[in-house]
Chain A
Amino acid sequence: MNNVPIMAGLILTGILFMIGVTGLLIRRNLVFILMSIEIMLNAAGMAFIVAASKWMQPDGQVMFIFILAMAAAEVAVGLALILQIFHKFKTLDADKLNNMKG
């Protein structure tokens, strides 16, 4: 029953984070990019919970609450931006939005 090594938990968070990074790099649609960012945030929070569980202290969980709040605010603003971009440029292709080149 108690044979789950801490390493496994951390590796799990690592895998989830890498999946998020991969999603960020390979998708061109802004919505999917934002989604991948959410996956990464979740994975990072999970790492905190794993640490809290190891030391049996609530600090990790407090950290996760903060991350959660921040993710919420960020998603709100990000989606608002996506709406504006869609209305202005009529596309959600991240590669098309390269006016800052050069």
Chain B
Amino acid sequence: MLSLLWIIIALPLLGFLLLAVSGKKLSRAVVGTVGVGTIGLSAILTIIIGISFISGLSHTKVYVQTLWQWFYVEGFSPSIAFHLDSLSMTFIFVITFVGFLIHLYSAEFMIDDEGYSRFFAYMNLFIASMLILVLADNLLLLYLGWEGVGLCSYLLIGFWYKDPANGTAARKAFIVTRIGDTAMAIGLFYLVMKFNTLNISTILLSAQHLWPVGSTMAFTASILLLGGALGKSAQLPLQTWLPDAMAGPSPVSALIHAATMVTAGVYLIARTNVLFILSPPVQTIVAVIGTLTLLLAGFSALTQYDIKRVLAYSTISQIGYMFLALGVGAWSAAVFHFMIHAFFKALLFLGAGAVIISLHHEHNMFKMGGLRKEMPVTFYTFLIGSASLAALPLVTAGFYSKDEIIWYSWSSAGGNPWLWIGAIMGAFITAIYTFRMVFITFYGEVKMKPEKKLSNLILIPLIVLAVLSIISGFIQTPSTLGGVSIFSSFLTSTLPEVIENHFSEGLEILFQVITAVLAISGIFIAYLFYVKRRPSERSHSAAVNFLLSGWAFDKIYDIIFVKPVVWMAEIDRHDFIDYFYTFIAWLTGLGHVVLKQTQTGKLRWYAMGLVIGAILTISIVLLS
């Protein structure tokens, strides 16, 4: 059963090839069936393989399937091989299942678009690349998937390419992640230099034996890999591309920029956890970056007026939580939050997409209102998703995952009171901005009436994801609330256990109460500001504009990086290096002009030439 692993990747790839080659000639129905069907089959196959894997977990922790050897250069021979363990099992489950729901949704969402087959081709290619990324046995194959998802992200952000602003957003995303990719590539070169292999298990084993804790080698390797992770996951300082990436269609934002691609950084760090454990300073950096990012993005999300940008900043913030968890050593907590976040964030994006197309592509929340009665299913599912995001206590999955991270930020060996304060402040702000979004969009009086009646293909994924946003939390509850640890024991076969300093149970319960109170009071504050005294349009004050622009990062980068390069290009407008080559050409031209003077066309001149030639020839003969 496990040997069917490669089919999970082959199916979307096949779908991509089919649609890329002949998509334009096929009808909408066929394209939709192929595009959604391949992912559906992959999802079913994933579930089957998952059941088979989990039931055999006691004796097979890791399953490796090698397809062929990629190349062989001086002893370095990566192979096309897939590595299935509990970590990658989690990821492929989320990718295929959430991916299937999103594909189903977009079969209806994109039905009027003329690039229908192109859309599904790109989405299938994306799923295939992401699966390669998480199933890769060696870092080179992982990098292949990494670049593949970057490419698909670019293609899909700029999907409506006729508007140049979309192209600019796509290029910005690609270039900013490129900076991270370059750091990661250097990291891969470093690892090849040290170990002559990129096989992940081999590297982790060798590093554990050969590199002492805190050595510069571990530091170099892990910080370079961290660079790559920061780019892809849109953390500080490379977070500027994600809000602009909302230029793509909503299903794209849901799949790529919420559930899967942006979590590739989390996957990378979790996968190479040994390197990070061997280098405590880098782990601290990860945790600090995570905390700063979650606060920065959270504050920015408070002021956004475009509904998708709120969700974009929210994504940056929640991935900050995952980085925080990775930084303090709570590996399985990070992965758990990833899974829960994938469910509710995809739900929120799909819901936002439903609202947007119902209101004729209106993105500004302040132009919406009162949709709670007009679009009931959307409203209720959106509400459940928001509750999960805000970590409404006890009933939502988000509570359990976020609470675990907040607890470990205090109690784990790498934890710190400052990190804990940042985490709970983030939770408070999350609740505020989330429900601000809900209240402005769905409450109040109706400003625009939705026209489209949403079909089942849109509503069913919303409902499924809403259900998951509630019940999936119950597989991992803290010891004070039942102590269910299905998820963490599933992951201990791959990821190390979190190292905790022991605190009393009472402290734990106190912290949980604090978190719960903060969440509920955040919702209440949002209620006060946005339902009781309802602003009719967004505020334009300077402080709001500063937060709105993401703490002016774009402007800072423009001044530091873009302007000097443009200035240098302007100076070199006429290309100094080229002057040397044009000089040679000019010299030849000069020779031509000079020698042209000898071609007078006059007979006597040529006769004189003959005479002079004769004189010279004879004198040469005589003198030698």
Instruction: Give 22 A-B contacts (CB < 8 Å), ordered by A residue.
Output: A21-B607, A21-B611, A24-B604, A24-B607, A25-B604, A25-B608, A25-B611, A33-B604, A94-B602, A95-B603, A95-B604, A97-B601, A97-B603, A98-B600, A98-B602, A99-B601, A100-B599, A101-B599, A101-B600, A101-B601, A102-B599, A102-B601
Taking the closest CB of chain A, its distance from the CB of B244, in whole angstroms, is 61
Q: How far is the CA of A99 from the CA of B596 in the complex (A)?
A: 14
Q: Which B-chain residue is minimally distant from A99 (CB atoms)?
A: B601
| Interface, chain A (partner B; CB < 8 A) | 21, 24-25, 28, 33, 94-95, 97-102
Query: B residues within 8 A CB of A33?
Result: 603-604
Query: A residues within 8 A CB of B602?
Result: 94-95, 97-98, 101
List the 7 closest pairs (A to B, CB-CB), nearest first: A101-B601, A98-B601, A100-B601, A94-B603, A98-B602, A95-B602, A24-B607
Chain B 562-607 residues near chain A, CB threshold 8 A: 596, 599-604, 607
Of the candidates A94, A100, A102, the one whose C-beta lies within 8 Å of that of B604 is A94
Taking the closest CB of chain B, its distance from the CB of A25, in whole angstroms, is 6
Q: How far is the CA of A65 from the CA of B56 in the complex (A)?
A: 116
Q: Is the CB of B600 within 8 A of A28?
A: no
| Interface, chain B (partner A; CB < 8 A) | 596, 599-604, 607-608, 611
Q: Given contacts A98-B602, A102-B601, list 9 more A-B pairs with CB under 8 A.
A: A21-B607, A25-B611, A28-B604, A95-B604, A98-B600, A99-B601, A101-B599, A101-B601, A102-B596
Query: B residues within 8 A CB of A24?
Result: 604, 607
Q: How far is the CA of A98 from the CA of B202 in the complex (A)?
A: 84
Query: A residues within 8 A CB of B603?
Result: 33, 94-95, 97
How many contacts between A and B, using CB within 8 angstroms? 33
Query: B residues within 8 A CB of A100?
Result: 599, 601
Q: Which A-chain residue is minimally distant from B614 (CB atoms)?
A: A21
Query: A residues within 8 A CB of B601?
Result: 97-102
Query: B residues within 8 A CB of A25?
Result: 604, 607-608, 611
Q: How far is the CA of A102 from the CA of B603 in the complex (A)?
A: 14
Q: How far is the CA of A98 from the CA of B603 in the complex (A)?
A: 8
Query: B residues within 8 A CB of A94?
Result: 602-604
Q: How far is the CA of A38 from the CA of B596 in the complex (A)?
A: 32
Taking the closest CB of chain A, its distance from the CB of B118, in whole angstroms, is 59
Query: B residues within 8 A CB of A21?
Result: 607, 611
Taking the closest CB of chain B, its distance from the CB of A77, in whole angstroms, is 16
Q: How far is the CA of A51 from the CA of B341 in the complex (A)?
A: 114
Taking the closest CB of chain A, its distance from the CB of B600, in whole angstroms, is 5
Taking the closest CB of chain B, its distance from the CB of A94, in whole angstroms, is 5
Q: Which A-chain residue is minimally distant from B596 (CB atoms)?
A: A102
Query: A residues within 8 A CB of B599?
Result: 100-102
Query: B residues within 8 A CB of A102?
Result: 596, 599, 601
Query: A residues within 8 A CB of B600?
Result: 98, 101
Taking the closest CB of chain B, its distance from the CB of A54, in whole angstroms, is 23
Taking the closest CB of chain A, its distance from the CB of B596, in whole angstroms, is 6
Q: How far is the CA of A95 from the CA of B599 in the complex (A)?
A: 13
Query: A residues within 8 A CB of B611?
Result: 21, 25
Taking the closest CB of chain B, its distance from the CB of A19, in whole angstroms, is 13
Q: How far is the CA of A28 from the CA of B605 in the complex (A)?
A: 11
Q: How far is the CA of A98 from the CA of B598 in the complex (A)?
A: 12
Q: How far is the CA of A38 from the CA of B608 in the complex (A)?
A: 18
Q: How far is the CA of A102 from the CA of B597 in the complex (A)?
A: 7
Q: How far is the CA of A21 from the CA of B604 in the complex (A)?
A: 11
Q: How far is the CA of A98 from the CA of B601 in the complex (A)?
A: 4
Taking the closest CB of chain B, its distance from the CB of A12, in whole angstroms, is 19
Query: B residues within 8 A CB of A101?
Result: 599-602
Q: Which B-chain residue is minimally distant from A21 (CB atoms)?
A: B611
Taking the closest CB of chain B, its distance from the CB of A18, in whole angstroms, is 10
Taking the closest CB of chain B, its distance from the CB of A91, in whole angstroms, is 13
Q: How far is the CA of A101 from the CA of B604 in the complex (A)?
A: 13
Q: Which A-chain residue is minimally distant from B611 (CB atoms)?
A: A21
Q: How far is the CA of A101 from the CA of B599 in the complex (A)?
A: 5
Query: A residues within 8 A CB of B596?
Result: 102
Q: Which B-chain residue is minimally distant from A96 (CB atoms)?
A: B602
Q: How far is the CA of A25 from the CA of B611 in the complex (A)?
A: 9
Query: B residues within 8 A CB of A98?
Result: 600-602
Taking the closest CB of chain A, its distance from the CB of B528, in whole angstroms, is 91
Q: How far is the CA of A98 from the CA of B606 in the complex (A)?
A: 11
Taking the closest CB of chain A, its distance from the CB of B451, in whole angstroms, is 77
Q: How far is the CA of A28 from the CA of B611 in the complex (A)?
A: 17
Query: B residues within 8 A CB of A95?
Result: 602-604
Q: Which B-chain residue is minimally distant from A24 (CB atoms)?
A: B607
Taking the closest CB of chain A, its distance from the CB of B72, in whole angstroms, is 63
Taking the closest CB of chain B, its distance from the CB of A21, in whole angstroms, is 6
Q: How far is the CA of A92 from the CA of B563 in the complex (A)?
A: 71
